[in-house]
Amino acid sequence: MMFAVTTLAILVNMALALIRAAKGPTVFDRILAVNNMGTKTVLLIAVLGFLTGRPDFLDLALVYTLMNFIGMFTVLKFVKFGVFGDPPEDKG
Amino acid sequence: MAMILDILSWVLLMTGCFFCAVGAIGLLRLPDVYTRLHAAGITDTLGAGLILIGLMIQAGPTLICVKLIMVLALILLTSPASTYALANSAMDHGVQPFVVQQPDPAAEPGAEAEAEASTAAGPEPAEEGADD
């Protein structure tokens, strides 16, 4: 029961973050909302494992945390420099 | 004993959900990127922390608990770093912070003392960035 309630609450909060990601006036609002979605995805995976009685998905939650972190830096770098590779010399 | 742990776990999970909701509503309602970063920080620390600690109590001393601790440690390590990088990047791009205009004291005669009090209690740079 408690896991169901928690899952529902996290899903509602993810929907709110998604609205901000769609609305966000600047690109940074969108990045922030997507990063927040990632954190909530980790929580959702953890709680969902307990809800279904198979808490083996926690490895996926770990991987999602790292992916979220690195993905955010990658997007920020792309926004700043416009390339995924080495940044141009004059902007470094 | 199991009952007490269950109740404790309920309380922690529900408090975590409450803070997640506070963070999500703040993400929607606050006026600019920097204040929204503050709201997102609530989700990352209090929300995730309380929910994961509640799950740890449910899991008991097993390998699952260790994995939950690792998830929590990773979130607590990475979220301040990404928050800092995002704020720094937004500042570099020239996104201006949302500032409430102080009322002009000269425009309202007779409200001199009040205006002085408001400027004295005005911006305190020491408090900036104390959150997160």
Residue B57 at interface with chain A, using a CB cutoff of 8 Å: no
| B97: phi then psi, degrees, rounded to nearest 5 | -65, 150
Q: How far is B57 from chain A (nearest CA, A)?
A: 12
What tokens does A88 get? 């141009």
pLDDT at B132: 47
Q: Which of A8, A41, A65, A74 to mutate to test the interface with B (most CBs of B within 10 A)?
A: A65
pLDDT at B124: 46
Instruction: With 0.80 as the threshold, say if the pTM is over it.
Output: no
- Residues contacting residue A4 through CB under 8 Å, at least 6 positions apart: A51
What tokens does B57 get? 């109590």
Total count of domains within chain B: 1
Residues of A in contact with B82 (CB under 8 A): 35, 68-69, 72-73
pLDDT, average across residues A8-23 = 92
Token pair 């953890």 in the structure block, residue: A46
pLDDT at B53: 93
Amino acid type, A60: L
Contact B71 A68 (CB under 8 A): no
Residue A78 banded pLDDT, cuts 50, 70, 90:
confident
In terms of residue numbers, what domain contains B41? 2-96
Q: How many CA atoms lie within 13 A of A48 on its CB side?
A: 14
pLDDT, average across residues A13-18 = 92
Query: Measured at the alpha carbon of residue B34, what is the angle toward residues B31 and B35, in degrees to the nearest 5?
Result: 50
What tokens does B25 get? 């509503």
Token pair 């990047």 in the structure block, residue: B89
- In tens digits, what is the pLDDT along chain B, a chain of 132 residues? 888 999 999 999 999 999 999 999 999 998 888 999 999 888 888 999 999 999 999 888 889 999 999 999 999 999 999 999 999 888 888 888 888 877 776 665 555 555 455 455 444 444 444 444
Contact B40, B23 (CB under 8 A): yes
pLDDT at B103: 75
Contact B95 A16 (CB under 8 A): no
Ordered by start, the domain boundaries in chain A are 2-82
Residues of B in contact with A2 (CB under 8 A): 9-10, 13-14
Interface ipTM: 0.84
What tokens does A58 get? 């926690």
pLDDT at B126: 46
Dist. CA A52–CA A76, nearest whole Å: 36
Helix boundaries (H) for B1-129: 2-29, 33-42, 48-59, 63-92, 112-120
pLDDT at B106: 67
What tokens does B24 get? 């999500």
Taking all residues of chain A, what is their mean pLDDT, rounded to a whole number?
87
Nearest to A69 by CA among B73, B1, B55, B7: B73
Instruction: Give A18-60 pLDDT, tens digit per residue.
Output: 999 998 788 899 999 999 999 999 999 999 999 998 878 888 9
